[in-house]
Amino acid sequence: MSKIMSILEKCNLVEKVNKEKLENTNLNEENNIKISEKLNDESTNIKVEASDYKEEIKAPKSVIKEKASTMQDNIEYEKKMMIDEIYSLYGLENSSVNTVFMLQNLINALPQNLPKDIVKQSVINIINASNIDLNELLSDGEQRLEVLVKVMDDFYNQTNKRIAEYKEEIAKLSNLISERQEQIKIKEGMLEEQIYLIKYEAQKIDDIIDFFPK
């Protein structure tokens, strides 16, 4: 990050001035040429920090037809999956280079107090100077969104279906338990009556036999 900041400061892209000057800062052609020359000589790979988790994921407006054919079907979601596992399953590279995460890393490398438009243009200039196709990075992001939405939907549907099956099975077992408990009561009553009858008859026979002592 320090090397990128040094390059940007040398190219007058990031000026150490107060907020009033920052708001009026415009990137001119001379700065763009300087950035390109510096980055061509000192370009380096940048590692990405973990991205923030978003509770709601919206599917991209456009679907990448070429990559959509690689989507996996009929996956059994029996356990929690980590994000890198999902990417690997769908053949997406888990890297900060030449992926959408490279854009986030470049954004984070710039001072947070810069106006959004300047940050955006600065990242575009860096990407162009590095001979990287911005559209490919954005398309990578759209594909990842498509995969994440699919996995989330499939995981949700399959897990809820399995939960419903378990609940149905529990209901059946509960009914079976109730029936068996009722049958146990009936059997216990029948056993008690049977023992009573037999004991009564046995006692009667004993009394007869005892009437005639040997």
pLDDT digits (tens, 9 = 90+) for 11-27: 444 443 334 333 434 44
Cα–chain center distance at 7: 36
- pTM exceeding 0.85: no
pLDDT at 71: 55
**Ramachandran bin of 34, using left for φ above 0, alpha for ψ from -120 to 50, beta for the remaining angles:** alpha
**Would 111 be classed as within a structural domain?**
yes
Q: Is 115 within the bounds of a domain?
A: yes
Tokens at residue 160, please? 């809820």
Residue 34 has pLDDT above 80, yes or no: no
* Structural domain total, the chain: 1
Q: Which domain holds residue 85?
A: 48-169
Mean pLDDT of 28-46: 40
Quote the pLDDT of residue 213. Answer: 77
Look at residue 114 and tell me if it is in a domain.
yes
Query: pLDDT tier at 1 (50, 70, 90 boundaries)?
Result: very low
- Segment 38-76, tens digit of pLDDT: 434 433 333 333 333 333 444 444 444 444 444 556 677
Q: Is the pLDDT of residue 155 over 70?
A: yes
Q: Dump pLDDT digits (tens) for 102-151.
A: 999 999 999 989 999 999 999 999 998 888 999 999 999 999 999 999 99
Contact between 90 and 145 under an 8 Å Cβ cutoff? The reply is no
3-state class (DSSP) for residue 132: coil
Using a pLDDT cut of 70, give the percent of the chain over it: 65
Residue 150 in domain: yes
Does residue 202 sit within a domain?
no
For residue 60 the two structure tokens come to: 């991209």
Between residues 6 and 190, the one the model is more confident about: 190
Residue 212 falls inside a structural domain: no
Lookup: tokens for 201: 């008859």
Handedness of CA 133, 116, 9, 22 (dihedral sign): positive
What is the reported pLDDT for 94?
A: 83
Q: Domain for residue 16, yes or no?
A: no
Q: Give the pair of three-digit tokens for residue 125.
A: 């200039």
Distance CA(184)–CA(203), nearest Å, equals 28
Identity of the amino acid at 49: E
How many angstroms separate the CA atoms of 93 and 208, rounded? 96
Please indicate whether residue 37 or residue 126 has the higher confidence score (pLDDT). 126
- Is there a domain that residue 107 lies in? yes
Q: Is residue 147 a contact partner of residue 92, using CB atoms and an 8 Å limit? A: yes
